[in-house]
Structure 1
Amino acid sequence: MKHFDYIIAGSGCSGRSLAIRMLPYLKASNKQLLLVDKSPKKGNDKTWCFWEKHMDVFEPVVYKKWNRLSFSSYFIRQELNIYPYEYKMIRATDFYTYTDEKLSGNPHITTIKGNVERLYTENEQAYAIIDGEVYSSDYTFSSIPPIQNKRPERYQYLLQHFMGWIIETENIIFDAECATLMDFKTPQQTGTSFVYVLPVSPKLALVEYTVFSEQELATEDYTTALKQYIHEQLHCEQYTIKEQEYGVIPMSDHPVQRQQGRIIYLGTAGGFTKGSTGYTFRFIQKHTAAIVERLKKSGNPIIPSIFPKRFKTYDATLLHLLGSGRLSGEEIFSKLFKKNKAKQILKFLDNETSLIEEMHIFKTLNKKEFAIALLNRTLRIIT
């Protein structure tokens, strides 16, 4: 049996983020880390977007950033002043290349390709069975979601699913310095849907169609919606699709077990996908930074929650409201952006506002509908 001080199971965003942040600690403490995944991470299979006030460890791979955002719906259209935040975009291909360069050849990192068949804790040690071979560690960090039995009678389960095209246009179409955060001028029959547009240049942008619903759509439905938006809203006829991405993010208020013995879950597996929006990247960075800070201080990576529990209740209430169909996502977000400053909304969505700030935001929403959704959600989980 091979022993490592730490094992990271899964080398996606969360696993690599933790490994990169652990490098100085591993060197200072002379610890060994095993990083395992069943397949190599290559190519531009996804795009991460987020906002932040200051530069962080992955600033070198930020592909594009914007100081201006826009929000549009059939109710309002406005440009958003997001200072002191910047909205940033990281492409997976750049992230994988950068982290590979940092991790490969490091004397404290061992990387293997293998299928993680089981994780468990026994006698104050964490164990991983990888392709039939047993590895032990002091702690294992996993981005592999444990099996969860759904309970739809108690909890809400939605999917955020999306298809995006990087398109190059023949004519100047985009304002390269202003990204579209949400544009609800899309078909709403299948669920809350919107498009966001991330322009890299006046003729190049990622245009992504996103839907919140219980089921994914047929491929042709995403394609039709994208073509319609490009034609009707961007007024563009001549363009080339350079790249395509597709993804599904689970959005639920089902409780997540963030730790099982000496196994600590990361990313979506650990509940660090924002339940109401699907944003994940910044929550991964906050969580992994907190883990490393704890390791430096005590050698123990187990940390308390990185944000107050009330934010889970807020997310759950919105999910139940969207699931009920009593208010559309377009109505909710239009009112939110119409009556609140953008920087305050971003702070709220980052789970960083105070109770007083949250009360000011709640006053601007449809209080009756949110109260009904909160009550219904509460009754469901206690019965």
Structure 2
Amino acid sequence: MTTPVHFDYIIIGNGLAGLQLALKLASDSYFKDKTIALIDPSEKNTNDKTWSFWETNPSQWDHLAYRSWQKAEVLTTNKNISLNLSPYSYKSIRAIDFYTEAKAQLQHHNNIHFIIEPVISVVEEKLIRVKTTNNTFTASHVFDSRLPESFSSEVKDHISIIQHFKGWVVTTENDAFDIDQVTMMDYRLKDGDQTSFIYVLPFSKTEALIEFTYFTEAVVDESIYDTYLKQYIKEYLNIDRYAIIETEMGQIPMTTYNFSKFNSGNITKIGTGGGWVKASTGYSFKHTEKKVAKIIENLKLGKRPSHGLFRRKYRFYDKVFLKVLQDENHKGEWIFKQFYDKNSVQTMFRFLDEESTFAEELKVMSSLFSWSFISAFFKTL
């Protein structure tokens, strides 16, 4: 099939946001006559990350879930908090499974084209001109998941925390993991006074993803993650013999940076490059699903695709939270202990999903009542 040079929509980046958007466009008959290109330098044929999220059943993602759990725990230095998640489930999807499924579905549509090339530039004229290493394409609208070029130089002027982590998928000879319960945060092993914790996803009694995660302003050397992972496995999981079968590392921006300023009538920033990562948690899977649905609604109503993607009050809540972490990074353990100890997990999930009532928001914020939050509140006004 010959690849055209002009498209109604070009999606730059075949990651979570780009593929979710393409799937929604492809499944809606309203867009059946629209030509769509997905441009990415990668074939997306490796398992480069794991997405975890909570949701109620049934879900369009159930068949892709590698594992799901109905129980969770948050462990602090002085309290263990057990969480019954019902009616929610905590789910995990391997990126390779999502990529494979999305590509298989999209390849059935003749109006969708995959272009495996790096994008060099995007120029907004009457038509948007997208230049790759080998070609130049035009589009009526471009959805761009790349981080803005100015982000790295401008982000220092905003409240910004990096969620950075390294994880090992390990296998053991004997049963070592509770397959019914995910460890969302374990603060018993920390790197000094920084907000850092262990995250454990048990895939079976003998296999689990174990990650050491930071919420800090600066990253650390890779060997630091290794040191804490080894210590946790030996001293807290009491495992002496294990094999590492997969490794993943990542950095997720948790920031008040205004990505929306890069949206125009003809270019919409999406995914991480559009500020779709929840600033206070780093979660993105379900937020992406909601924002994609809003874009589809806007397109069908003739509105700017980026219209109404963000709600101001939740951005303010995130800003206060990040300000506390920036000014007093050691408070992370206390914050999350208060979150899950003083509120039901269902309330917390609705709050973090930006679906809470005002009464629930008051309850959540009151559970964090302290001078640190009062100070952050007034600093961020």
User: TM-score, normalization: structure 1?
Assistant: 0.93
Q: Is the aligned partner of 1:213 residue 2:195?
A: no
What is the DSSP-based 3-state SS (H/G/I as helix, E as strand, rest coil) of the residue aligned with 1:291? helix
Consecutive unaligned residues in structure 1, runs of 5 or more: 379-383
Query: What's 1:268 paired with?
Result: 272
Question: CA–CA distance in 2 between the matches of 1:317 and 1:300?
Answer: 31
Partner letter of residue 98 of structure 2? Answer: F
Query: What's 2:227 paired with?
Result: 224
Question: CA–CA distance in 2 between the matches of 1:331 and 1:358?
Answer: 18
Deviates more, 1:316-325 or 1:299-308: 299-308
Residue among 24, 39, 44 paired with 1:36: 39
Residue among 169, 177, 191 paired with 1:174: 177
How far does residue 55 in structure 1 lie from its aligned partner after superposition? 3.5
RMSD of Structure 2 on Structure 1 (CA): 1.9
Question: CA–CA distance in 1 between the matches of 2:114 and 2:156?
Answer: 42
Question: CA–CA distance in 1 between the matches of 2:342 and 2:285?
Answer: 27
Residue among 86, 89, 94 paired with 1:91: 94
- 1:256 touches 1:271 (CA, 8 Å); kept in 2? yes
Residue among 346, 352, 355 paired with 2:355: 352
User: TM-score, normalization: structure 2?
Assistant: 0.93
What is the DSSP-based 3-state SS (H/G/I as helix, E as strand, rest coil) of the residue aligned with 2:190? coil
Task: Map Cα deviations across residues 230-276 of structure 1 (whole Å, 9 max, x no partner).
Answer: 11211111111111111111111111125123111111111110111
- 1:120 touches 1:263 (CA, 8 Å); kept in 2? no
Deviates more, 1:111-120 or 1:40-49: 111-120
- 1:307 touches 1:352 (CA, 8 Å); kept in 2? no
Query: What's 2:317 paired with?
Result: 314
Aligned residue pair count: 376
Matches within 5 A, 1:192-271: 192-257=195-260, 259-271=263-275
How far does residue 117 in structure 1 lie from its aligned partner after superposition? 1.4
Task: Map Cα deviations across residues 4-47 of structure 1 (whole Å, 9 max, x no partner).
Answer: 11110111111111111111236763111011101221211100
Question: CA–CA distance in 1 between the matches of 2:105 and 2:319?
Answer: 38
Question: CA–CA distance in 1 between the matches of 2:331 and 2:235?
Answer: 22
Query: What's 1:381 paired with?
Result: none
Question: CA–CA distance in 2 between the matches of 1:368 and 1:190?
Answer: 19
Query: What's 1:330 paired with?
Result: 333
Query: What's 1:115 paired with?
Result: 118
Deviates more, 1:238-247 or 1:186-195: 186-195
Question: CA–CA distance in 1 between the matches of 2:155 and 2:111?
Answer: 44
What is the DSSP-based 3-state SS (H/G/I as helix, E as strand, rest coil) of the residue aligned with 2:324? helix
Question: CA–CA distance in 2 between the matches of 1:20 and 1:153?
Answer: 35
Matches within 5 A, 1:32-111: 32-111=35-114
Shift in CA distance, 294/27, structure 1 to aligned 2, threshold 3 Å: closer
Question: CA–CA distance in 2 between the matches of 1:259 and 1:329?
Answer: 33
Question: CA–CA distance in 1 between the matches of 2:31 and 2:369?
Answer: 53
Task: Map Cα deviations across residues 129-162 of structure 1 (whole Å, 9 max, x no partner).
Answer: 2225331222111101112254567422221110
- 1:143 touches 1:269 (CA, 8 Å); kept in 2? yes
Q: Percent identity?
A: 35
Deviates more, 1:242-251 or 1:130-139: 130-139
What is the DSSP-based 3-state SS (H/G/I as helix, E as strand, rest coil) of the residue aligned with 1:273? coil
